[in-house]
Amino acid sequence: MKLIQPLAQTFLLMAFLLIHMQGCAQPKKSYTISNKRAIAQLEEAQAFYQRKDLRNTIQLLEELVIKEPQFIEAQFMLAQVYDENRQTEKAIVPLEAALAIDPKYYTPGWMMLAEAHFYLGHYDEAEKAITKYIPMPKNSAEEEKRAQLILSSCVFAKDAKAHPKPFTPINLGPGVNTALNEYYPCLTIDEQTLLITRDVPDKEAFSGHQEDFYLSKKVNEEWQTAVPVQGINTIYNEGAPSLSADGQTMIFTACQTIDGSYGSDRTGAGSCDLFYSTKVGENWSQVKNLGNAINTGVWESQPSFSANGQTLYFIRGQYTPQGPKKQDIYFSYIRDNGQWSAPAKVPGRINTVFEEAGVMVHPDGHSLYFSSNGHSGMGGLDLFVSHMLPNGEWDVPINLGYPINTEKDENSIHVSAKGQIAMISSEREGGTGGLDIYAFEMPAFARPKAVTYVQGIVSDKLSFKKLQAHLELVDLETGKKVVDAYSNMGSGEFAVCLPVGKEYGLSVSKDGYLFHSENFSLKNYASEKPFQLNVELQKLRANANIVLHNVFFETNKWDLLPASKTELDKLASLLAANKDKKVEIGGHTDNVGNDVDNQKLSENRAKSVVDYLVAHGVPAENLSYKGYGESVPIADNTTEQGRAQNRRTEFKIL
């Protein structure tokens, strides 16, 4: 079962044949001609068609329309079979012939003709045909929407070709591209690792070939030879992957096999499902199904995992013999209990009654890139970008324009974390064969918000052992959690993507250790290099202490600010899990002001923290507080930076 979709057939060419074939089970009372031999030849062609013998069907119909050019039914059927045989350009001739004989005999024929011209990029001809069809009666509201969409798309496409966007695609080279098909590119946030899907020959596979994942590393600005991903690839199809921002988690699509050969952890809920694996050192963990909250008996595919590690976007559609249909973009988020929420269609103006595909949420969290044939475009699936509105809905999609989009299908775009470079899969002259991965500079109008990334290593403060730990980052202005991630189990490394222009609070926790907190600013961060932040954790033992960097008060007061909630809740959870520990909360100030006032301020601030913890379930007998005023500085009080470090709240195990 291929994960890359076939080209869409023209929209209504099937309609006439289905109506006509229903009448073929019994003799038809009348045709548009009376020649019995011609009618018999048409019915013979229909019999070949029912046996899926398109070669003989086409041969009989081509002979028939030469002998009887006025035979409307034969002309329409020939157009249908040409289209099914992917000969859309040939389908135009019999369509025009049938409509010239009687423009009203089968009015959806005008839609069929418009679709064929539109599919081939003949926008003037498509506009003329659809303009004739629009005033005619329709069988459904969907046909009316499709007709209006073709008309608006013709207008858009002609203007887009008259005003092309800058587009210079560069082949990624032999390290990534081969004579086989490569598609669905996916970059890590440091832009040094590329994950792709490759269609490879495989004698053990049911169809003689199957899809696998390959990884390529960039060395000296060149992509190295891509190698298979061990532990995930099988003799079945794996495709359409999404990497978490740090490259530690992979979510991908796989399709259930008839005999359930994936085993219990890889067997899907039906059709195609989403699966995941996490990185352990340089290896990947056992693959597991994302579960019934995400996967259903229909088709789930093409996931995109947000950089904050909280939201999953994916495509859900009904799979048919012609490929996935009625596809929409869904999203699900991780609840506080660690479970996925019930998926829902993304709110706003993105989904249509037609097809959406290839979704990618950018690390900025506010830009969604996807493919669709339900918005005005060049033909087939076009690439779009939509931006999140303040109310959480997605705005009207913007077409990326010509020649990024053409009359052919464009799908599986990936935009780098910095937003300047995008990658697509394309079959074009000068490639290495089949679909290749190309990079191009993203036009300014379609770029996401500026982001950077924070990277570092989590380790034990005394033994220096690298640790897997839980990382949370909070936007200090809103108090909202913006990232939820883990460091690598083997290396302790982490990398998280963050929008610039904000201040953040970091909290790192692990069972058996005191959590670590600090805050930092990216308001004026303009470096091309990542923000470095190494973390050392202390084990839970007597006299261990930490500074609660993300506990904040009103200036010269002891009222806690809302931004303190995340840190204090984490501290309350730590104490709830270690009820045998007695702790002290210590308050400290800088040397500005008099000693008495500073002593009182520090004591009251420490008491405010204790009061909060007691109110959130920590036994009061396990807590004490003390104000140290300005007596225990940890930095130079002659500078503002030093004074800021001295104004602190500490937590100490007694």
Distance, in Å, from the CA atom of 321 to the CA atom of 371, rounded to the nearest integer, reads 21
pLDDT tens-digit readout, 385-431: 999 999 999 999 999 999 999 988 888 899 999 899 999 998 888 88
pLDDT at 8: 35
What does the alpha-carbon distance between residue 630 and residue 194 come to, in Å, rounded to a whole number?
Answer: 52
Tokens of 235: 């003799």
- Across residues 35-44, what is the average pLDDT? 93
What local confidence, expressed as pLDDT, does residue 428 receive? 82
560: how many CB neighbours lie within 10 A of its CB?
A: 19
Q: What is the pLDDT of residue 137?
A: 87
- Over residues 433-440, the mean pLDDT reads 92
The model's pLDDT over 202-244, given as tens digits with 9 standing for 90+, comes to 777 666 778 999 999 999 999 999 999 988 988 888 889 998 8
pLDDT of residue 10: 38
pLDDT digits (tens, 9 = 90+) for 321-369: 555 568 999 999 998 888 999 999 999 999 999 999 999 999 999 999 9
Point out the least confidently predicted range of 3-7, 175-179, 528-532, 634-638. Answer: 3-7
Q: What integer pLDDT is reported at residue 558 of this predicted model?
A: 95
Average pLDDT (55-61) is 95
For each of the domains in the chain, give its residue range(s) and CATH number, in order of start: 13-162 (1.25.40.10), 180-446 (2.120.10.30), 450-539 (2.60.40.10), 540-654 (3.30.1330.60)
Q: Tell me, what's the pLDDT at 647?
A: 94
* pLDDT in the model for residue 308: 87
Kindly state the greatest CA–CA separation across the chain: 113
Strands 531-532, 493-499: pairing kind? unpaired
3-state secondary structure of 176: coil
Does 251 have pLDDT greater than 90?
yes
pLDDT at 244: 87
pLDDT score recorded for residue 629:
94
Average pLDDT of the chain to the nearest whole number: 88
What DSSP state is assigned to residue 314?
E
What's the pLDDT at 2? Answer: 31
The backbone torsions φ and ψ at residue 107, rounded to the nearest 5 degrees and listed phi first, read: -60, -30
The pLDDT value recorded for residue 323 is 54
H helix intervals, 5-71 = 13-22, 36-50, 54-67
- The predicted-structure confidence for 292-318, as pLDDT tens digits, reads as follows 889 988 889 999 999 988 999 999 987
The beta strand positions in 128-208, using DSSP E, are 170-171, 181-187, 193-201
Taking the C-alpha atoms of residue 489 and residue 510, their distance in angstroms, rounded to an integer, is 12
Say how far apart CA 354 and CA 373 lie, in whole Å. Answer: 7
Q: Confidence band (pLDDT; 50, 70, 90) for 11?
A: very low
Task: Tell me the two tokens of residue 27.
Answer: 């003799």
Antiparallel, parallel or unpaired: β 356-361 and 481-486: unpaired
Mean pLDDT, residues 435-442 taken together: 95
| Separation between Cα atoms, residue 322 and residue 339, nearest integer Å | 34
For the record, the structure tokens of 592 come out as: 């500005």
Range with lowest mean pLDDT among 204-218, 276-290, 490-504: 204-218
Helix (H) or strand (E) holding 234: none
pLDDT (tens digit per residue) in 597-615: 999 999 999 999 999 999 9
Residue 93 reports pLDDT greater than 50: yes
Q: Is the pLDDT assigned to residue 260 strictly greater than 50?
A: no
pLDDT at 24 over 80: no
> Is pLDDT at 3 greater than 60 in this prediction?
no
Q: Is the C-alpha dihedral spanning 172, 177, 182, 185 positive or negative?
A: negative
Cis peptide before 499 (omega within 30 of 0): no
The single residue listed with the structure tokens 């379609």 is 446
Map residue 146 onto helix, strand or coil: helix
pLDDT at 13: 43
pTM above 0.75, yes or no: yes
